[in-house]
Amino acid sequence: MYLSKEIRLRSKFFARNLVIFRFGSCAAATLIVFIIPFLGSFALTLLQPDWNIVLAKQDLRTAYSFAGIFFGATLCLFLLNAPLMFGLFSWMSELTMGRNQPLSYLFSWCTVGRRFLKALAAAGVFVGKALWEALKFCTLPMVGMAFLEIMADLIPTGYMPILLVLIVFLVVGLVYTLIRAFSNLPALYLLAAVPQMSIQEAFFQCSDFMYDKKGEFFKLLISFFPWYLVENLSYGLIGLFVKPYFYLSLLYFTQQIYNKWLYETGKVDRYVDPMKNLFEGGNADV
């Protein structure tokens, strides 16, 4: 068995090796999944009319027509993004198991109606949980700061220490919100790897096996900040390496703690180390 820190380090090590070993496939998959939303966003900029000209003509029918096309295309782009990401997670999950699926597998969540709707619902649940965490931990200091701003003329100048305390609470609340919100991300990986699992069961199991792993998972997330900084400085040129490296690291972390949780809770009789699949092509007991 491995401790949380060891799991985090092993995840990055094996993910990096897998991306290097399968760079062509990983780069192609990443390019396909991210180029479609990019092209869609570019097309939206072409579809977007000059609203000043449209409104100046006072032709409401034309304005409604343009608005319908633009916002309809925006909605389609948004709806397509979640199934594409689930397809990428599924494809990468297969890759970690030594099964090289064709790139058409990336669209496995887009071409099946039930999976398409399931991806949208799961993404909605993830966003809803994130908003709920923000509501719990950030509302009170934000309300307090808004109250101080409104009552600034009526409150003596000694309110500044109170404001500083509220700002500190807000920052702590934001950090804690991020940690709690992103700890639900493994549920999406789990659902992509096991499509027959229900959304409710995926998030329930995630909250269980991530109970004491949230901190290490968040450390794994923020450890990629320098990589994404370099990617931005390179105008996205190294994104074909960074993005699969990032997603595979999260996937390996999820696989390890999930298999460990299954073993420790007695749901399986042996611990299966997902890392053994990288070059050996099979599972192994630890």
Identify the CA nearest to 249 among candidates 92, 81, 78: 92
In the chain, DSSP assigns E strands to none
Across 214-235, average pLDDT: 89
pLDDT value of residue 121? 92
Lowest mean pLDDT among 111-125, 150-164, 257-271: 150-164
Task: Report whether pLDDT(77) > 70.
Answer: no
pLDDT value of residue 56? 59
Q: How far apart are CA 195 and CA 193, in angstroms?
A: 6
Q: How far apart are CA 216 and CA 257, in angstroms?
A: 11
pLDDT value of residue 260? 87
pTM attached to this predicted model: 0.80
Q: How confident is the model at residue 265 (pLDDT cuts 50, 70, 90)?
A: confident
pLDDT value of residue 251? 92
pLDDT value of residue 1? 47
Spatial neighbors of 147 by CB under 8 A, at least 6 apart, are none
Q: How far apart are CA 226 and CA 249, in angstroms?
A: 15
pLDDT value of residue 242? 92
Mean per-residue pLDDT of the chain: 80
Q: How confident is the model at residue 188 (pLDDT cuts 50, 70, 90)?
A: very high
pLDDT value of residue 246? 94
CB atoms within 10 A of CB 177: 19
Chain-centre distance of CA 127, in angstroms? 10
User: Count H helices, E strands: the chain?
Assistant: 11, 0
Most confident stretch, 47-51, 163-167, 202-206, 273-277: 202-206
Locate 123 and state its tokens: 């993404």
Lowest mean pLDDT among 66-70, 246-250, 253-257: 66-70
Largest CA distance in the chain: 72
DSSP 2-45: --HHHHHHHHHHHHHHHHHHTHHHHHHHHHHHHHHHHHHHHHHH
- In three-state secondary structure terms, 283 is coil
Task: Select the more confidently predicted residue: 267 or 79.
Answer: 267
Across 132-147, average pLDDT: 82
Q: How confident is the model at residue 70 (pLDDT cuts 50, 70, 90)?
A: low
- In three-state secondary structure terms, 286 is coil
Identify the CA nearest to 93 among candidates 42, 29, 151, 28: 29
pLDDT value of residue 81? 81
Task: Indicate the helix (H) or strand (E) that contains 285.
Answer: none
Task: Report whether pLDDT(55) > 60.
Answer: no
Identify the CA nearest to 220 among candidates 262, 192, 182, 189: 182
CB atoms within 10 A of CB 275: 23
